[in-house]
Amino acid sequence: MAKFEGYKDIYVFVEQRNGEIANVGYELISEARKLVASIPQMGFQVVGVLLGHNVTDKANDVIAHGADKVIVADHELLEGYSTQFYADTLTQIIETYKPDSFLTGATVLGRDLAPRVAARLNAGLTADATKIEIDQEKVADGEALLLVTRPTFGGNLFGTIVCPDTRPQMATIRPNVFSMDPVDTTRTGEVVAFTPDFKDTDAKVVVKEVIAKVVEGIDITKCDILVGAGRGAEDCLDMVEAVAEELGGAMCASRAVVDDGFASKDIQVGQTGKTVRPSLYIACGISGACQHVAGMEKSDMIIAINRDPQAEIFSIANMGFIGDVKEILPLLKEEIIAAKKA
Ligand SMILES: Cc1cc2nc3c(=O)[nH]c(=O)nc-3n(C[C@H](O)[C@H](O)[C@H](O)COP(=O)(O)OP(=O)(O)OC[C@H]3O[C@@H](n4cnc5c(N)ncnc54)[C@H](O)[C@@H]3O)c2cc1C
Give the pLDDT confidence of 173-211 residue by residue, as tens digits: 999 999 999 999 999 999 999 999 998 888 888 888 877
154 lines ligand 1 (CB under 6 A): yes
All domains in the chain, ordered by first residue: 8-193 (3.40.50.620), 220-341 (3.40.50.1220)
Would you place residue 1 in the very low, low, confident or very high pLDDT band (cuts 50, 70, 90)?
low
Using the mean position of ligand 1's atoms as its centre, give its distance from the Cα of residue 268 in Å. 11
Query: What spatial distance separates the first Cα and last Cα of the chain, rounded to whole Å?
Result: 63
Secondary structure in 3-state letters for 10-76: EEEEECEECCEECHHHHHHHHHHHHHHHCCHHHCCCEEEEEEECCCHHHHHHHHHCCCCEEEEEECH
Segment 235-241 shows an average pLDDT of: 96
From the CA of 150, how far away is ligand 1's center (Å)?
A: 21
Determine if ligand 1 sits within 6 Å of the CB of residue 292: yes
Binding region for FAD: 231, 254-255, 268-272, 285-292, 306
Question: φ, ψ for residue 165 (rounded to 5)?
Answer: -105, -15
What would the pLDDT profile of 132-150 be if each residue is shown by its tens digit?
999 999 999 899 999 999 9
Nearest in space to 138 (alpha carbons), one of 163, 118, 159:
163
